[in-house]
């Protein structure tokens, strides 16, 4: 589903397979973590990537970042193919393409003070004088809402929400254009989560950012994303605007996922939830549609071939043969 006009980032049939080896290190199969994913990220949007654990959403983010080498497919960023660049070739581009780790507490060096942590990217990527660097660090620190005094603290001395702010400040000093946020709110309390989300939105306006927002928390995604891609076992099964996807989900997996979110004041999911079973082993996938083993709409045709991601409605694609049908009541 690539558009020739080209967004900021384009993924074409991106694949990342991990080898499965037995005890004797003999290769016995592939774990298809990301399988033929094609996406376009438009400039200035927030694209959400949602799915349950093991669906490949983090692997997708890391493959885009070059942390994993893709098995196949192309990654095009700002018109340049960055799929197979050598590290020194990609340095200039990588500056504009940044990634925040899931757990900022673990990704910040515990022996470095915040000030030094924020200075490091500038040392690597720019040739600013130390006075100019200090200026940039101060600017960014106030942009993410941390007091000046924090420059002299160590990562363990600040709270989880503040660690996230530092993680964000660290990549924003380089003025990137695309930021991949990997589970940016997991492990935060709701009251803190809300302030961190507001920060993302403020920074987006201030620095003209594009986000790829990877999360398993659908209510957060609904809140801040413009478009959403739903992944199941390495495949994108539905892609559309947040409004349409949450308002009228089409793929049976998306429908089940949405019906599993508790919503205060609405009907209780303990009365209405219908999906049974658990995802199959990702190393041993069912043939055809990967959701067919749990799907209430499954028919014999589903096992024969993998349904492609097709735009059934303008701007809204899903990968299901029967997405027009209603799900039978449980």
Partner 1 sequence: MDELLAVTDLEVGFRTDRGLARVLDRVNFHVGRGEIVGLVGESGCGKTTLARAILGVLPANSAHISSGVIDFGGRNLLAESSWDLATEVRGRQITFVPQDPFSSFNPVFTIGAQIEELMKWKSPDAEPTTASRFYPRARRRADRARVLDLLRTVQLPDPEGILKKYPHEVSGGQRQRLMIAMALLPEPRLIIADEPTTALDVTIQAQILKLLKRLASERRVSVLFTTHDLGTAYEICDRVTVMYAGQEVESALSDDFFAAPRHPYTKRLLESLPSRERGIGGIPGQIPALIDPPTGCRFHPRCDRTGTRCAAVRPDVSEVGPAHLIRCHHPVEAVP
Least separation in angstroms between residue 117's CB and partner 1 is 21
CB 239 within 8 A of CB 316: yes
Query: Does residue 142 interact with partner 1 by CB under 8 A?
Result: no
User: Of the ranges 18-26, 127-135, 148-156, 216-224, which one interacts with partner 1 (CB under 8 A)?
Assistant: 216-224
Query: Does residue 202 interact with partner 1 by CB under 8 A?
Result: no
Least separation in angstroms between residue 87's CB and partner 1 is 35
User: Of the ranges 72-80, 113-121, 124-132, 218-226, which one interacts with partner 1 (CB under 8 A)?
Assistant: 218-226
With CB under 8 A, what is the number of residues at the site for partner 1? 36
Q: Which of residues 251-310 bind partner 1 (CB under 8 A)?
A: 256-257, 259-265, 268-270, 273, 275-276, 278
Least separation in angstroms between residue 195's CB and partner 1 is 4
Query: Does residue 327 interact with partner 1 by CB under 8 A?
Result: no
Query: Does residue 131 interact with partner 1 by CB under 8 A?
Result: no
Query: Does residue 85 interact with partner 1 by CB under 8 A?
Result: no
Least separation in angstroms between residue 14's CB and partner 1 is 23
Q: Which distant-in-sequence residues (6+ apart) come within 8 Å of 300 by Cβ?
A: none
Least separation in angstroms between residue 51's CB and partner 1 is 9
Query: Does residue 59 interact with partner 1 by CB under 8 A?
Result: no
Least separation in angstroms between residue 146's CB and partner 1 is 13
Query: Does residue 120 interact with partner 1 by CB under 8 A?
Result: no
Query: Does residue 198 interact with partner 1 by CB under 8 A?
Result: yes
Q: Which is nearer to partner 1, 3 or 267 (CB)?
A: 267
297: left (phi over 0), alpha (psi -120 to 50) or beta: alpha
Q: Which is nearer to partner 1, 97 or 275 (CB)?
A: 275
- In this structure, how many other beta carbons lie within 10 angstroms of the beta carbon of residue 151? 18
Q: CA 212, 217, 222, 223: dihedral to nearest 10 degrees?
A: -90
CB 237 within 8 A of CB 253: yes
* One residue of 223, 226, 286, 296 binding partner 1 per CB under 8 A: 223
Q: Which is nearer to partner 1, 1 or 258 (CB)?
A: 258
Query: Does residue 228 interact with partner 1 by CB under 8 A?
Result: no
Least separation in angstroms between residue 79's CB and partner 1 is 35
Q: Where on the chain is the footprint of partner 1 (CB under 8 A)? A: 52-53, 159, 161, 189-195, 197-198, 216, 218-220, 222-224, 256-257, 259-265, 268-270, 273, 275-276, 278
């Amino acid at each position: 589903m690539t558009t020739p006009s080209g967004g900021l980032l384009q993924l074409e049939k991106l694949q990342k397979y991990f080898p499965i080896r037995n005890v004797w290190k003999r290769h016995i199969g592939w774990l298809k973590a990301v399988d033929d994913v094609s996406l376009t990220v438009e400039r200035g949007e927030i694209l959400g990537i949602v799915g349950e654990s093991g669906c490949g959403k983090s692997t997708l983010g890391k493959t885009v970042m070059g942390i994993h080498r893709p098995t196949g497919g192309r990654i095009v960023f700002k018109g340049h193919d960055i799929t197979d660049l050598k590290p020194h070739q990609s340095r200039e581009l990588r500056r504009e393409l940044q990634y925040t780790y899931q757990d900022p507490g673990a990704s910040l060096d515990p022996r470095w003070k915040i000030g030094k942590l924020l200075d490091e990217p500038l040392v690597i990527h720019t040739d600013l004088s130390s006075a100019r660097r200090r200026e940039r660090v101060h600017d960014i620190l106030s942009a993410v809402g941390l007091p000046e005094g924090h420059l002299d603290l160590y990562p363990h001395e600040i709270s989880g929400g503040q660690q996230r702010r530092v993680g964000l400040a660290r990549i924003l000093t380089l003025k990137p254009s695309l930021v991949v946020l990997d589970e940016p709110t997991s492990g935060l309390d709701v009251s803190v989560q809300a302030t961190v989300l507001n920060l993302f939105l403020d920074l987006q306006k201030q620095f003209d950012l594009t986000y790829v927002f990877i999360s398993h928390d659908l209510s957060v995604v609904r809140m801040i994303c413009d478009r959403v891609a739903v992944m199941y076992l390495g495949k994108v099964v539905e892609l559309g605007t947040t409004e349409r996807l949450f308002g009228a989900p089409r793929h049976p997996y998306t429908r089940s996922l949405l019906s599993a979110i508790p919503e205060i004041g609405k009907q209780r999911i303990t009365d209405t939830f219908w999906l049974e079973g658990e995802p199959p082993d990702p190393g041993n996938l069912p043939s055809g549609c990967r959701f067919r083993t749990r799907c209430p709409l499954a028919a014999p045709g589903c096992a024969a071939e993998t349904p492609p991601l097709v735009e059934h409605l303008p701007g809204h694609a899903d990968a299901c043969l029967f997405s027009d049908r209603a799900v039978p009541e449980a």
